[in-house]
Amino acid sequence: MAKKRKNDTRLDPFATAVGSSSLDALLEQANAGDVIRMPAPSDPTRQITLVCKVIAHTDIESTTGVYGKNRRVQALLNEKSVSDILPAIREDGRNQHPALLWEQGSKSLVLAGSRRRMACILGNADYLVLSSSDFTEQDAKILAVSSDQYIAPSLWELGQAYQQTKNDLIQQGKKGSYREIALVEGVSHTAIADAIKAYEQIPANVIALYPTANHVGREVAKKLVIAKERDPKSFNQLVEELVSNNDVNAITSDDKRAIAITKYLTFEPQTAVKREAVLNNEFVSLQRNLKSGDVSIKINNKVMTDKRLEQLTKLLSAFN
């Protein structure tokens, strides 16, 4: 087995002490067939029994799914979004650090390790997991948030999660305001607002154009929203054009391609300024901007003597 490099993430939620070690260390040392016990995420006094096993790569998709409230949108996972762990997992033939699965009959739900799952699928590698039926819905919800600390979900994905939190609050009879959501999520209400607006205003097919969803941060999202609101029809047309734009798709650097995509989608064509000609002869042109009312004067240098320049300067200096 190759030495572990970026294969793969740490389970930060389990960094609580257990004797002289930590749960993270215990999970890392687990081998197929081992049975270990750990405190439940929602209640440290309750123990969860986990069995370590290896799922053959041919069985991953048929025997596992991802917990529905996982904040990482699975449709957006691709080779680019798991590129930090895919090469090592492909070379090693499996993930080194086990994922956490909640046994649900014939199909288990991934509570932590959905990126590892996708990397194993893409890399034709086996999936090392710790599986248990002892998890509860509350455990699953906690893991859905805390297991994303290695690489945080994108702004758009967080917006989807915050929208679900809003719906839950409304079902509880609350308003579901940004501030109420912020109290639940532990982030600022402005961060909630930005994420939800990004999720609501930017279609999934636009996010899919980028190398990864994480390339659409706050500033990029704001530019996309403004461009879409300015001219929805033109914006949608640009989205369709980008799918087959060879120049943009040929850019090998993910960051540069993301910048090119944003520039392409948010380009604002310059509109001709409408002006009214107030005076126009061979020597003097005076025009007024119909929108702003500003007046511009252009005088032929042949007739602009020092005396006339002095007179014009005195006239203009008297304006207030």
| Residue-wise pLDDT tens digits, 159-173 | 998 999 999 999 999
Helix H or strand E encompassing 237: helix 232-243
Q: Return d(Cα 202, Cα 221) in angstroms, integer.
A: 8
More confident position, 15 or 38: 38
CB of 224 closer than 8 Å to CB of 266? yes
Helix H or strand E encompassing 288: strand 284-289
Per-residue pLDDT for 58 more than 50? Answer: yes
Tokens 């199909």 identify what position? 107
Band of the pLDDT at 33, cuts 50, 70, 90?
confident
Mean pLDDT, to the nearest integer, of 294-300? 86
Are β-strands 21-22 and 127-132 bridged in parallel, bridged antiparallel, or unpaired?
Answer: unpaired
Per-residue pLDDT for 185 more than 60? Answer: yes
Mean pLDDT, to the nearest integer, of 80-101? 90
CB atoms within 10 A of CB 84: 17
Pick from 72, 65, 67: which is nearest to 161 by CA? 72
Q: Return d(Cα 76, Cα 155) in angstroms, integer.
A: 13
More confident position, 57 or 295: 57
- Which of 65-74, 129-138, 308-317 is the most confident on average? 129-138
Whole-angstrom CA distances from 246 to 241, 242, 243, 257, 261 are 10, 8, 8, 11, 12
Q: Return d(Cα 40, Cα 135) in angstroms, integer.
A: 7
Q: How far apart are the first and last CA of the chain?
A: 81
Per-residue pLDDT for 24 more than 60? Answer: no
CB of 249 closer than 8 Å to CB of 241? no
3-state SS, residue 169: helix
pLDDT attached to residue 147: 63
Q: What CATH topology corresponds to 155-266?
A: Arc Repressor Mutant, subunit A (1.10.10)
Pick from 196, 198, 248: which is nearest to 228 by CA? 198
3-state SS, residue 210: coil
3-state SS, residue 116: helix
Peptide bond into 8 cis (omega under 30): yes
Map out the domains of the chain as residue ranges: 12-146, 155-266, 275-314
CB of 97 closer than 8 Å to CB of 9? yes
Phi, psi (deg, nearest 5) at residue 73 = -75, 115
Q: Return d(Cα 105, Cα 236) in angstroms, integer.
A: 43
**Both tokens assigned to 177:** 């305001």
| Percent share of the chain, pLDDT over 70 | 87
Q: Return d(Cα 40, Cα 20) in angstroms, integer.
A: 19
Q: Return d(Cα 209, Cα 242) in angstroms, integer.
A: 8
Residue-wise pLDDT for 237-282, tens only, equals 999 999 888 899 888 888 999 999 999 999 876 655 677 777 788 8
Q: Which amino acid makes up residue 35?
A: V
**Both tokens assigned to 193:** 């607002």
CB of 57 closer than 8 Å to CB of 125? yes
Mean pLDDT, to the nearest integer, of 136-154? 78
